[in-house]
Amino acid sequence: MVAVTEKDIHIVNNGHVTSPQGFSAGGVHAGFRKTKLDFGWIHSDTPATAAGVYTLNAFQAPPLQVTKESIEKENLIQTVVVNSGVANSCTGKQGMHDALETQALTAEKMGVAANHVAVSSTGLIGVPLPMEKIHAGIQAMDDGNHVAPENFEKAILTTDTVTKHMAVEVEIDGETITIGGAAKGSGMIDPNMATMLSFITTDAAVDHSSLQNALRNTTNKSFNMITVDGDSSTNDMVLVLANGRKNNRRLDESHPEWSAFLQAFQHVCEGLAKQIARDGEGATKLIEVNVSGAPSEEVASQVAKAVISSNLVKTAVYGTDPNWGRIITAVGYSEQPIDPDKVSVSLGDIMVVKDGLPVEFEEMRGKQYLENETVALNVDLQNGSHVATAWGCDLTYDYVKINASYRT
């Protein structure tokens, strides 16, 4: 394998899901929401190798089920459609009928096979899809006035305050390969795949099983390592499409530059995950929990998740309270093999616990550090060489306001 360093990955300025060749995207106001764009689509000019990971919630919504079954048939997707405002979840047989009808109508409009269409919905649970609005959105897909990646990014949002997108380039087989992505997610975010909608595209040629494995493994280090509120939704998924428009030799684990593709892919997934965490409902700060010195990657991940999921830690960061006891407590209840006499904790570069005992520090300095927009909480278990990072946000008064009035 050829090792690739971070400097070999080039971030595309204002990169989008359409930065890779052969992809277009758009969005329109179809009437699901009062005034905002609420129906979006991504289209590849050729069928793309597809892979997906899905929410572990037992109540998987019909759109998710339809998309999952479609990918399993041929491993190909050419068009993705998404509506926001109505989740089409817990809607029974009618919900499945509506999801299949959405797929069929989109296929007819775009001239593609029905099982090459992925459908997705996000929004209020338990409300049937207003199919007249689905029809309106689909009919607008060939209107050039609505074709723009920014429109797609806006159309998939619910309580998000900003769009989430990025793209990177990496050279493989002498070709500049591009990987782009767009995501939505602000609430019902927990480190339990998948708790958002994320769509990743690339113009590389990639073997399906290798792409699926890459997505699953990368998800465990990115989308599975974020939390906002500990809730996991019913609709959410991450899809990746590889249309092979570049002339690289088909990528798989035996390709000499597979590691270069993996690192670029990880960069996009991690970037989108951090954007979701930073835009948590009511959030004012991004929290990054770095765990080192673990006996295994699993231990490091579970400890990081325990700390990032702690409401007491999240509220302390919001209140700029350098209360390291809350961090130690979360490490302790992570149910991992921890030696309390070895654990050290720092707020950024401010050491507050060493070998399980408090370290004297200037509390005002700790408070000032927690006022930053990005806060790093570092935990060293001093019991191995494995590391993990998790991302989340502070828990604020506005989170309660937003969710108390969600239906109204």
Interval 291-336: pLDDT, tens: 999 999 999 999 999 999 898 999 999 999 999 999 999 999 999 9
Distance from C-alpha of 304 to C-alpha of 389, rounded to nearest angstrom? 6
Query: Could you name the CATH architecture of 6-278?
Result: 4-Layer Sandwich (3.60)
Q: Please indicate, yes or no, whether the overall pTM of this predicted structure exceeds 0.85.
A: no
Is a pLDDT exceeding 80 seen at residue 11?
Answer: yes
- Domain borders along the chain are 6-278, 286-404
For residue 279, what pLDDT is reported?
A: 76
Query: Could you name the CATH architecture of 286-404?
Result: Roll (3.10)
- CA–CA distance from 273 to each of 142, 149, 300, 310, 351 (Å)? 31, 19, 18, 18, 28
Per-residue tokens: 272: 């989108």
For residue 281, what pLDDT is reported?
A: 65
For residue 228, what pLDDT is reported?
A: 52
Q: Is residue 214 within 8 Å of residue 259, measured between CB atoms?
A: no
Distance from C-alpha of 78 to C-alpha of 137, rounded to nearest angstrom? 18
For residue 186, what pLDDT is reported?
A: 55
Per-residue tokens: 267: 């960069």
Within 269-385, strands assigned E span: 286-294, 344-347, 350-354, 357-358, 374-380
Per-residue tokens: 317: 């960061």
Strands 23-28 and 39-54: antiparallel
Q: Which amino acid is at 278?
A: R
Higher pLDDT, 6 or 148: 148
Per-residue tokens: 363: 């509390």
Selection from 281, 367, 393, 381 nearest residue 331 by Cα: 381
Q: Above pLDDT 90, what percent of the chain?
A: 77
pLDDT tens digit sequence for 29-50: 999 999 999 999 999 999 999 9
Distance from C-alpha of 56 to C-alpha of 193, rounded to nearest angstrom? 6
Higher pLDDT, 282 or 102: 102
Q: Is residue 388 within 8 Å of residue 141, measured between CB atoms?
A: no
Selection from 155, 127, 129 nearest residue 141 by Cα: 155
Per-residue tokens: 91: 């809607």
What are the catalytic residues? 195
Higher pLDDT, 113 or 195: 113
